[in-house]
Amino acid sequence: MELEDFGYNDEFEKFRIENNLGDLEIGRVVSEHKERYIVRTEKGELEAEITGNLRFSSNNREDFPAVGDWVALVTNDSGVSQIHKVLPRFSIISRQNVGHTGEKQIIATNIDYALIVQAADRDFNINRLERYLTICYSSKVSPIIVLTKIDLINEQQISEILEKIKARIKNVPVIALSNNSLDGYEKIKPFIEKGKTYCMLGSSGVGKSTLVNNLAGRTIMRTNAISQSTNKGRHVTSHRQLSILENEGILIDNPGMREVGITDSTGGLEITFDMINRLSLSCKFKDCTHTKEIGCAVLDALEKGEIDQASYENYLKMEREKTHFESSIAEKRKKDKDFGKTLKNYKKARNKKKY
């Protein structure tokens, strides 16, 4: 298989040439487990780890390879290959690191499209759709909304849901389908393109796995466990998190993907709530919070019914979460800085003692 089949493109190639990485092999990270990576190259799959140099030049975890990354590596067919560089990512899906407040954890990178999956029967929730859209926009991933389980509701209900979505969400494709009867599948197929990378976002039980299985048909690479022994004699079992769909789209599906929430959504909120954002340019005060200010264009529009009340409330809620997340990042940075100072003072004191 060629690298293009896994999503390699001209931008990555340009970077490779400009950075004189010609002597290194190029591959895509298909799974990660405790800093052990499975990398798919033209030759096949290799086990790899990062070089000490890459480790020390990394400022934080975000600089480490993640599933979906293109990496430059020195291959070693019998042992562990060495990853020297992570190529720049065009999109990143991340979430707040549980247990490490204010830290981001990268779930996957270089994703073109996210299928936002909701079940049309019980799971359907437009506020949640806006949440997922916000994640997509702040991650630089293009959203596609997929409504599953339409076999469980009638035609009338389907069109009502589609109308509701249309009223609040513009410029995003919406596909309604049933994984059971396969109604609507002909509409989703054209969205799955060769060499493009996809992920799925959506609550548990909405039909993501069933959708993947249906789209995969005959999977070229199965998402089953890979078992391998490492040079240290340990046995590692990890899941291949990147697979190829039948019509040659590439799917990233890993456990982290199922827990993605709102993290740093800078920019994302503005696009989801385009109308609110545009209105806010006309607010009297530059730092308007659109909640109580005089001369607030957003509140005016709300009063006139030009923007949806529920959409507005959802916007405020997500703004609050964003602010909260940003302040916890700032707090963490400050703590790190303080710790750095303490260390520096300690070293100074210690050096003084020597003389």
The binding site for ligand GTP (CB under 6 A) comprises 148-149, 151-152, 178-180, 202, 204-210, 258
Binding site partner of 249, from ligand GTP, Zn ion, none, Cβ cut-off 5-8 A by kind: none
Choose, by CB under 5 A, the member of 107, 177, 242, 288 that binds Zn ion.
288
Our finding on whether 301 is near Zn ion (CB under 5 A) is no
> Rounded distance, CA 6 to CA 71, Å?
13
Residue 263: its H or E element: none
State yes or no: 136 annotated in a binding site: no
Residue with token string 């190259």? 41
Question: How many CB atoms are located within 10 Å of the residue 68 CB?
Answer: 28
Q: How far is the CB of 1 from Zn ion (least distance, A)?
A: 53
Our finding on whether 275 is near Zn ion (CB under 5 A) is no
State yes or no: 148 annotated in a binding site: yes
Q: How far is CA 63 from the centre of its chain?
A: 15
State yes or no: 202 annotated in a binding site: yes
Binding site partner of 89, from Zn ion, ligand GTP, none, Cβ cut-off 5-8 A by kind: none
Minimal CB distance to ligand GTP: which residue?
207
Of the pair 177, 318, the CB lying nearest ligand GTP is at: 177
> Rounded distance, CA 198 to CA 205, Å?
19
Our finding on whether 298 is near Zn ion (CB under 5 A) is yes
Question: How many CB atoms are located within 10 Å of the residue 121 CB?
Answer: 16
Binding site partner of 97, from ligand GTP, Zn ion, none, Cβ cut-off 5-8 A by kind: none
Q: How far is the CB of 120 from ligand GTP (least distance, A)?
A: 8
Q: How far is the CB of 309 from Zn ion (least distance, A)?
A: 15
Backbone φ and ψ for 251, nearest 5 degrees, come out as: -115, 130
Backbone φ and ψ for 105, nearest 5 degrees, come out as: -120, 125
Helix (H, G, I), strand (E, B) or coil at 247: coil
Binding site partner of 283, from Zn ion, ligand GTP, none, Cβ cut-off 5-8 A by kind: Zn ion
Q: How far is the CB of 67 from Zn ion (least distance, A)?
A: 40
State yes or no: 81 annotated in a binding site: no
> Rounded distance, CA 164 to CA 158, Å?
10
State yes or no: 208 annotated in a binding site: yes
State yes or no: 151 annotated in a binding site: yes
Q: Do residues 107 and 93 touch, judged by C-beta distance below 8 A?
A: yes
Question: What single string gives the DSSP state of each residue in 126-185?
Answer: HHHHHHHHHHHHHHT-EEEEEEE-GGGS-HHHHHHHHHHHHHH--S--EEE--TTT-TTH
Which tokens hold the place of 92?
């990143």
Of the pair 211, 296, the CB lying nearest ligand GTP is at: 211
State yes or no: 332 annotated in a binding site: no
CA distances from 350 to 219, 296, 340, 347 (A): 61, 58, 15, 5
Comparing CA positions, the residue from 70, 105, 104 lying closest to residue 90 is 70
Binding site partner of 220, from Zn ion, ligand GTP, none, Cβ cut-off 5-8 A by kind: none
Binding site partner of 277, from Zn ion, ligand GTP, none, Cβ cut-off 5-8 A by kind: none
* Residues in the annotated binding site: 148-151, 202-210, 283, 288, 290, 296
* Residues in the annotated binding site for GTP: 148-151, 202-210
Q: What residues make contact with Zn ion under the rule CB under 5 A? A: 283, 288, 290, 296, 298
* Residues in the annotated binding site for Zn(2+): 283, 288, 290, 296
